[in-house]
Structure 1
Amino acid sequence: MAADRVGHLAASVQDPAFFGRCAARYRAVGFGELDPAEERSWRNSWPPLFEALVRAGLKDLQVHLEYGTPGGGRRLDALIVGAAPDGVLRLVIVELKQWQTCRILDTERVMRSDGLVTVHPVHQVAAYRSFFQHWRPQSAPELEVRGVVVLHNATAAEGAALAAGAGADAGVPVLTGDELARHDETLARLLCCGDLVAPDAGQVEEFESIRWQPSSRLLDHVGADLEGSHAFALVGDQQDAFVRVRQAAARHLPGRGQATAPAGGGGGGGAVITVSGGPGSGKTALAVRLLGRLMRAHPATRPRFITPSGTLRAHLLDAVRGHSAARELFPSAGSLRSTARQTGALIIDEAQRIKRGSAAGLPPDLAAVIQHVPLAVIFLDERQIIRPDEGTTVDEIRTAAQALGRTHHHLELTGSFRCSGSAAYTAWVDNLLYGTPQPWTGHAGYELALAGDPFQLQEWIDQATTAGHTARTTAGFCWEWSRPRASGATALPLDISIDAPSTIPGGPTRTWRAAWNASSALTDPDDGRLIAPHSQLWASHTGGHQQIGCIYTAQGLEYHHAGVIIGPDLTWTDGHWHAHPEESQDTALRHLTPTQYLPYALNTYRVLLTRGTHTTHIHATAPDTHDLLQTLIHPN
């Protein structure tokens, strides 16, 4: 939000008008309205930090104030950029707190003097540090990332107690007002900048040109998370939510070695926690981390993870196939009611997909969870409701919990950890489908393009796959999905058929044909070679790029490059989206009226358009829809 050399910013923070300019910039970059308490914290914390940096002889280092983390989940109070003598860039994350004292609950949680339980600041910084390392693209310069917590109102003794409470291996020092007041040569070292030299203009430009991208995928780390190795860092809202759920677990669940919940903890009624967030906001990453934590801290409760998405469950089981208890940890959605009577802690992901059945109101299976499970953590996104027999909402869950005397908390995840952390892209998709379509102005690090025909789209997918990336195409369910006719078939039926203009003026129309993903794995009967993976593993297993996925095999998953075919069931005409249920082959939807079908079609394409971590290319079969997209998406 503000970036300059230490010396220049040290002079700026002495000018009261500087804070007003920062507040204006805060709003301009899309952070929203500034909380007055936030601006007060700037006025109280920035001057002592810069006074110390100047006194330590660090006036030529670069500083970014309120630096937005990749994914938009949180802003760093300050990020110092320096260089080692060998030219390697070094970052120092500075977390500023105005605290004097706090109560240490455990190595990861503290209670502030106002009673709020929050992440231990040392672990907050450690998560930021890990996150930068995981999001550094291979093309970026080598980086070393450090961190320090600065409590400018605290004494050395108070800081030492906070640091000791974080555990010995955190590697993030705590600096207090006593240390900031030093005038000797050790101050730069205490600030983790003792070996840094001023970066030259080229190095600053090189750092600022880095386009942070996720270098590790959730499913690559599921097994490690369950075993307690946190390779996938939680940041910002995710970390706050993790603390809130742990706090509820401590109140309502027995700990390791305990038979009952802690006395006086309010365990009688139990708790229901809803966690909502858009595509790529980190819901599944947080859910998996919570399962691992509950397994270790509350084993007697037999924690379980259930998702109505068979595709997501298949990928989770595949990711942890070396874990001896994997199938027990991830029971099927069909066992939701029985599992609710056997577990003390249940995590439900993609809860909006739970079937309602014939009953009005909350789905009976979910009602059983709220009635019987002492701690239920329910993840959902109401804009991913894609069928009329599904569609749980936060309000319904809150009402049911309160009727049973259960404590209810609602948490919101606002970050964007998919689409190269581009909140701009997810906002573009939401404007396209639910608001006023806007031109794509671009977001460095994320590519959006329009394919003139499906041949172009498939060529791009093939090239990305050859280059070693995970690339998949999905489409609206607008073509019949047949099964291989013979048990020994070596090819899938080419059910999808789309006409495209000739590449030669006046030439004949070309027809592009493709197969849906296989309902079951297809292998060559002669040599056992895999021709097509099972539909539930289509998004990650070899060969999946040669088939087309649909909403049911893509929801909840991600891949590097996403091709999307908007079919004839949703078209843009006369300035509005129009639904055509007669064009759908989905028996759960095609009987609906156009008005009824429209929200499900919009939600479906929102899911398909937000699967790519790096790139999305779109093809629309309807000419009017293609024309709209052509006015919004300019050639790269």
Structure 2
Amino acid sequence: MPDQPAATTGTRSAALAAPRSAPGAPSSEPASAVACAAAGRVGGIAGLVGDAGFIQRCAARYTAAGFGRPGEAEVRSWRNSWPPLFGALVRAGLSDLQVYLEYGTPGGGRRVDALLVGAGPDGGLVLVIVELKQWQTCRVLDAERVMRSDGVVTAHPVYQVAAYRSFFIHWRPKSAPDLEVRAVVVLHGANAEQAAVLRPDAAAAAGIPVLSGADLSAPPGELAGLLRGDDLAAPDAAQVARFERIRWEPSSRLLEHVGAELEGTGTFALVGDQQDALVRILAAADRHLPSLGNGPQAQDGPVGGAVITVSGGPGSGKTALAVRLLGRLMRAHPTTRPCIITPSGTLRAHLQDAVRGHPAARELFPGISALRSTAQRASALVIDEAQRINRGGARGLPPELAAVVRKVPLAVIFLDERQVIRPDEGTTVEEIRSAARALGRPHHHLELTGSFRCAGSAAYTGWVDSLLYATPVPWNGHDGYNLATAQDPFALQEWIERATADGHTARTTAGFCWPWPRDRPRTPALPLDIRIETPTATGAIRIWEAAWNADTALTAPDGTVLAPRSQLWATHTGGHQQIGCIYTAQGLEYHHAGIIIGPDLTWTDGHWKAHPHESRDKNLRHLTPDEYLPYALNTYRVLLTRGTHTTRIHSTDHATQHFLNTLVHPGGPIAV
């Protein structure tokens, strides 16, 4: 609702939200599962939206829900926009619908201004997403951006709410009740002509009306239709409870949509700060790229344009944004020869595999060795996983990245400083900013704070960070993410096999603590290099053995794929029967993740202790324990955040396993 995002101090899971209650007393009832500023029936809240005390209670509940303190602009927008909205809803005869104000979206990336819940003609649940704007005039720049009268470029509200609609549809778990999702944009201060400017003629915007202040004065029956509620009845208490019990989780994966995104036909939704970041980057592209003709010639000195860094934790949507950005640049600025370069060979292989039918697949995702030459010719360059670029012994920026900052007119660099896993890596935002400043180039930094993996659980990713970098805390499972420990690797293997048999992607990863010889035989029988001794209840020792993932694809004599090549291990058939490591898992995701914490990291005397001599990674074995520790913590952070639905953890160290069991309940059968 506000024209600029309110400052936030973090995210919070739904179960910690302030309680659902009667309007006017939002904190006096038992806690609900909904993070929002207010909840109740439309008619009950309608009489309170002009009351200062109600606004104060909403602000308190907003903060308690983990959204941060609402800024002055946020609260002012509530005062200005809620009364006309509720006045219209009551006049339209929609007083008995359930409504949530500032409803926290799945993933914690943003809040829906108002969310209506009603019963459809068939008795099923219907959601109506309402986007409120205080604007009067604006100029449409393209399908995703508008410029307000004050010169600020922001997301096109119709496509903003269309993204929310898509997100609710794609994040509905199989166990949730059927939902119909509708949307409407309300410009209560605009006249009919001003609102008409925002009504695009595009399939993505189908069925999303843009209402002016005059529309809100329409006759009741017509108004109910304009608000997308003319066929809705009041939901009963059981229906409201069913809606509130939904634990939104991702039902589609980025790599399944990459090709469509590049062609401009994708439906993978960007929401919240992802959408804000895309708008800002495209604005920079419009400023700096159109005047470049067919692209700059190679030159020794600095160029104009901008350097943009985008940071965010695991599952915050960096790669999704990078792919959407590449598609937009390909269509809007084709002569700039845009591409995505990543030092992760695994991620690159998956991106190429996802668009293997595209005629320019290899050119769109060149290898990291081409970074310097690409910087010589490209006018727009996207770099993902930049923290993994090898420094090559250089102080400051790696030479290849320095060339990008110096030569590429629009450089967009994605990174996560807590995913540095080797001592020859570690580019930081500050280093990029300093290099750009020294060249006289503008630098902009954007932060992605949402959580779109791990069932959208910001609580889980926060728990992982507390476990590894701060004070470990018990996991209470309040937001529905399925986390448990596995008591031995046999149980972990059984869990993975069952999940795979049920049609899900399930993978086990481990710390690089067992030999992985380069001269492994290329036969269906991979060597079982991983051996873990597991004591039984009687004191006997069982030996669990497994193979690392195959370097190259292995097939049976009849052509059946037994194991995909290492770079496609995480998603292709057969990968569940081998064990992956940081180098074949980083940047990817799968439904169910099993993690084996090896002997290189143990919980000892109340803190994490590193044992580099237990590592088989030649890049790390020579480090001291203190030097090795941050890389070990970062490695296991990556492995612990790959599972979109479920995670199971096992440690080979008995004391560490016991410690984990005090924080997380041991897991039973997998819930799929």
When normalised by structure 2's length, the TM-score is 0.91
Match of 1:120 in 2: 156
Q: Among residues 521, 528, 537, which one is paired with 2:553 in the alignment?
A: 521
Alignment of 1:473-552 (within 5 A): 473-483=508-518, 485-487=520-522, 489-503=523-537, 505-506=538-539, 508-524=540-556, 526-552=557-583
The residue that corresponds to 1:576 in the other structure is: 607
Aligned match of 2:399 in 352, 364, 385? Answer: 364
Aligned: 1:605 with 2:636: yes
C-alpha spacing 1:168/1:133, structure 2 compared with 1 (3 Å): closer
Given the superposition, is the C-alpha separation of residues 27 and 361 from structure 1 closer, same or farther in structure 2, using an over 3 Å criterion?
same
Give 1:371 deviation, angstroms. 1.1
Q: Secondary structure at the match of 2:377?
A: coil
Q: Is 1:396 matched up with 2:423?
A: no
Q: Would the aligned equivalents of 2:93 and 2:220 in 1 still touch at CA under 8 Å?
A: no
Match of 1:264 in 2: none
Q: Does 1:93 align with 2:125?
A: no
Please state how far the C-alpha of 1:410 moved relative to its aligned partner: 0.6
| Cross-structure match for 1:232 | 268
CA contact (8 A) 2:255 2:350 kept: yes
What amino acid is aligned across from residue 306 of structure 1 in structure 2?
I
Q: Which runs of 4+ in 1 moved over 6 A?
A: 165-168
Q: Between 405-414 and 464-473, report the one with greater CA deviation.
A: 405-414
Partner SS for 2:129: strand
2:39 corresponds to which residue?
Answer: 3
Distance of 1:4 and 1:475 partners within structure 2? 47
The letter for the 2-side match of 1:376 is A
Question: For the Cα contact (< 8 Å) 1:425–1:443, is it kept in 2?
Answer: no
Aligned to 1:453: 488
Residues 174-228 of structure 1: per-residue CA shift (max 9 Å, x gap): 1122222334421111111111111111211121111111111100011111111
Q: Is the 8 A contact 2:107 2:457 kept in 1?
A: yes
| 1:77/1:94 contact within 8 Å kept | yes
Identify the match of residue 423 of structure 1 among 458, 470, 488. Answer: 458
The residue aligned with 2:170 is: 134
CA distance in 1, matches of 2:490, 2:125: 44
In 2 relative to 1, CA 159–399 (structure 1 residues): closer, same or farther, beyond 3 Å?
Answer: same
RMSD value over aligned CA atoms?
Answer: 1.8
Distance 1:247 1:627, change over 3 A: same
Using the TM superposition, give the Cα deviation of residue 165 of structure 1 relative to its aligned residue in structure 2, in angstroms.
Answer: 8.5
Contact kept in structure 1, 2:459 and 2:479, CA below 8 Å: no
Q: Which moved more, 1:148-157 or 1:69-78?
A: 148-157
SS in structure 1 of the partner of residue 618 of structure 2: coil
Inter-partner Cα distance in structure 2 for 1:573 and 1:285: 38
Residue equivalent to 1:214: 250
CA distance in 2, matches of 1:635, 1:516: 25
Report deviation, 1:347.
Answer: 0.6
Give the aligned partner of residue 349 of structure 1: 384
Task: Provide the secondary structure at the position in 2 that maps to 1:469.
Answer: coil
Deviates more, 1:470-479 or 1:157-166: 157-166
In percent, how many aligned pairs have the same letter? 73
- How far does residue 57 in structure 1 lie from its aligned partner after superposition? 0.8
Q: Do the aligned partners of 2:124 and 2:179 also contact (CA within 8 Å) in 1?
A: yes
For 2:290 and 2:151, how far apart are their aligned partners in 1?
A: 23
- Does residue 591 (structure 1) correspond to residue 627 (structure 2)? The answer is no
Whether the 8 Å CA contact 1:370–1:401 is kept in 2: the answer is yes
- Residues 158 and 205, structure 2, Cα contact 8 Å, conserved in 1: no
Shift of 1:568: 1.0
CA displacement at 1:486 relative to structure 2: 4.2
Contact 2:454 2:642 in 1 (8 A): yes
Alignment partner of 1:615 is 2:646: yes
Which residue of structure 2 lines up, in the alignment, with residue 406 of structure 1? 441
> Distance between the aligned counterparts of 2:204 and 2:97, measured in 1?
29
**CA drift at 1:337:** 0.4
Deviation of the 1:15 alpha carbon: 2.8
Deviations 1:576-630 (A, max 9, x none): 1111111111110110111111111110000000000000000011122112211
Q: Deviations over 1:484-517 (max 9, x none)?
A: 6545x331111111111114x24x2111111111
Contact 2:289–2:409 (CA<8 Å) still a contact in 1? yes
Q: Are the aligned partners of 1:420 and 1:614 in contact in 2 as well (CA < 8 Å)? A: yes
- Contact 1:540 1:559 (8 Å CA) reproduced: yes
Q: Deviations over 1:295-328 (max 9, x none)?
A: 1111111111111000001111111111111011
* Superposition deviation, residue 171 in structure 1: 3.1
Q: CA deviation at 1:249?
A: 0.8
CA distance in 1, matches of 2:295, 2:195: 35
What letter is aligned with 1:521?
A
* Structure 1 residues 445-497: Cα deviation after superposition (integer angstroms, max 9, x where no partner): 3100001111111110011001110000001111111256545x331111111
In structure 2, do the counterparts of structure 1 residues 56 and 255 end up closer, same or farther at CA, with 3 Å as the change threshold?
A: farther
Structure 1 CA distance for aligned equivalents of residues 217 and 263 of structure 2: 43
Give, in angstroms, the shift of residue 635 of structure 1. 4.3
The alpha carbon displacement at 1:529 in A equals 2.9
Task: Give 1:560 shift.
Answer: 0.1
Q: Which residue of the partner structure matches residue 25 of structure 1?
A: 61
Cα distance in 2 for residues equivalent to 1:622 and 1:39: 52
Give yes or no for contact 2:308–2:446 (8 Å, CA) kept in 1: yes
> Following the alignment from structure 1 to structure 2, what is the Cα–Cα distance between the partners of residues 456 and 192?
50
Is the contact made by 1:254 and 1:300 (CA closer than 8 Å) also made in structure 2? no
Contact 1:581 1:591 in 2 (8 A): yes
Give 1:434 deviation, angstroms: 0.6
Contact map agreement 2:42 2:95 (CA 8 A) in 1: yes
Contact 2:397–2:432 under 8 Å retained in 1: yes
- Structure 1: how far apart are the matches of 2:615 and 2:470? 24
8 Å CA contact 1:254–1:301 kept in 2: the answer is no
**1:626 matched to which residue of 2?**
657
- 1:169 deviates by 4.7
Give the match's secondary structure for 2:46.
helix
Structure 1's 16 and 485: CA in aligned 2 closer, same or farther, altered over 3 A? closer
Matches within 5 A, 1:49-68: 49-68=85-104
Contact residue 122 and residue 170 of structure 1 kept, 8 A:
no
Unaligned residue ranges in structure 2 (runs of 5+)? 1-35, 297-301, 668-672
Offset of 1:164 from its aligned partner? Answer: 5.0
* In structure 2, C-alpha distance between the alignment counterparts of 1:297 and 1:107, rounded to whole Å: 12
2:209 aligned partner = 173
How far is 1:47 from its partner?
A: 1.6
